[in-house]
Amino acid sequence: MVCLPAVCCYVYSHPCHLNRASQYMGRSARRCRGCLAGSMDDDIQAGDSGAGRAARRDEAVRAAVEQGLVGAGSPVVGLLDVTGIRESAAELRAAFDAVVAPGTPVLHAFAVKATPLVPVLRLLREEGIGAEVASPGELALARAAGLGPEMTVLDSPAKTAAELREALDLGIAVNADNPQELDRIDGLMSADAGGSRSPLGIRVNPQVGGGSIGATSTATATSKFGVALRDEGAREWVVRAYQDRPWLTRLHAHTGSQGIPLSLLAQGVAEVYALAEEINGRIGRQQIDTLDIGGGLPVNFTSDATTPTYAEYARMLAAEVPGLFDGRYGLVTEFGRSLLAKHGTVVARVEYAKSSGGRAVAVTHAGVQVATRTVYAPESWPLRIGAYDAKGRVKEGPVVVQDVAGPACFSGDLLAEGRSMPVLEQGDYAAALDTGAYYFAHHYGYNSLLRPGVYGFGPGGEGGVVFAVVREAQTVGEVVAESGGAYVEGLTQSPLGLP
């Protein structure tokens, strides 16, 4: 085992660029010897082809079986491709560097909700990526990973006074979601005679419409997020809010994520840019100096190809909203799924292979507890399934229509239904692909199923694969403790007075 590379693999200097109230972290890097991810320069030039990523994944599955990370005693595991994560971070930075004016402050803040794992956040930090957090827990994870306030943005529709106070004390950027929250910030700012170092702004809902998945469309007419710009009087309220508060220097919008086409994402950005221009024009100076355009790049779950790309999106924004990149505005992005999804794999042992109604069914240890969205909404969140034999090698042979089932006690616990693939037999492995975001890091405790261990992988010596612990597998004892094991008599003894 080796430790997941953090400071050891890339050594960075971080010159801070001050843009009025806003701080951003710049980056320069020098590669050190022995980096787990190999030559980053070569990887960037070559690009991350789907074939290369698939080959790394296949090697990692085989090595995980050989090294005992997954097997009879550990029947499900999550694997993260460290090389791929580094490449995605580099591609994101390069895509926007190619379109912004030289010297423009840019912060790419990873949406922590996508993969809330401290070693992942640390790895991204070393790649120059900050953190967008939406809860006290996510902020704590970002801080544990070593992310400073200048690399952190707080977004949430339900921030408490205590959360706001902590953010303002730390100097973390905050986007107010609604008028009541802005009133709360007013009170906190008034109570602190020295003000706050936090860059502050308002989140608006451009109400440009939804995509193909309602649950991930955040710019609909009735979205719970932000100030709805097309509601009567709302736009004028936003303008006055900035006129009355010189310390509001940011404007934020996020149109949605999976299921949102690039054209709709660009439309949402165009709306927030136009509003910033209007506000600055009404005030008579450039008070808004930073635009937070959210994230939302959708992920292709149908193949190993990365489509769309960050470069395609950045070029579209440059064409549709040219003033966005002319150097007058600093930029914040909040991508999540697109940075991690393609670089994660859930590998599960086939415990039993059976037949029901003439259809083959592979019963595995990966189901609703690691793939909740897929199980409950398979039409919106289908996953590709890779078939591997008992030694972790890519499975070949006759293709049959089969179901890949999970371990939970309800009939709908299926990773895939009616899927044509090489037949899975007892002791084989089924791999849920493209699961690096919103899957094994978001455990669902149905049937008190254990959280799987998560490991990062990269190339070792002589063509091998090495692994690093990201999160240990949960134990049965931990499940009992989390389920009130220390309070076994809590409902049968005083002070409740029950017999």
Whether the CB-CB separation of 134 and 334 falls below 8 Å is answered with: no
Q: For the ranges 44-53, 138-147, 386-395, which has the lowest average pLDDT?
A: 44-53
Total residues found in the chain within this entry: 499
Please provide the distance, in angstroms rounded to a whole number, between the alpha carbons at the two ends of the chain: 54
Judge whether 81 and 50 are in contact, CB under 8 Å. Answer: no
pLDDT at 345: 98
Collapse the DSSP code of 319 into the 3-class scheme (helix H, G, I; strand E, B; otherwise coil) and give the result: helix
Query: Of the candidates 4, 2, 37, which has an alpha carbon nearest to the alpha carbon of residue 123?
Result: 4
* Residue 21 pLDDT greater than 90, yes or no: no
Give residue 34's pLDDT: 32
128 and 101 Cβ atoms separated by less than 8 Å: no
Other C-beta atoms closer than 10 Å to the C-beta of 211 total: 21
Query: pTM of the predicted model, to two decimals?
Result: 0.88
From the list 324, 334, 349, 341, the residue with the least C-alpha distance to 295 is 334
Q: What pLDDT, in 10s, does the model give residues 352-368?
A: 999 999 999 999 999 99
Cβ-based neighbour number of residue 216 at 10 Å: 19
| Identity at 262, one-letter amino acid code | L
| pLDDT, tens only, 234-253 | 999 999 999 999 999 999 99
Cα–Cα distance for residue pair 181/237, rounded to 1 Å: 14
How many helices, marked H, and strands, marked E, lie in the chain?
Answer: 13, 22
Give me the pLDDT at residue 207, please.
73
Angle, vertex CA 444, rays to CA 442 and CA 449, nearest 5: 120
- Mean pLDDT, the chain, integer: 88
Tens of pLDDT, residue by residue over 164-221, are 999 999 999 999 999 999 999 999 998 765 678 999 999 998 877 777 878 877 777 7
**Tens digit of each residue's pLDDT (9 = 90 or more) over 67-119:** 999 999 999 999 999 999 999 999 999 999 999 999 999 999 999 999 999 99
> Taking each helix axis from N to C terminus, what angle separates 82-97 and 310-320, rounded to the nearest 10 degrees?
20
What's the pLDDT tens digit per position in 275-288? 999 999 999 999 99
Question: What is the structure's pLDDT at 27?
Answer: 32
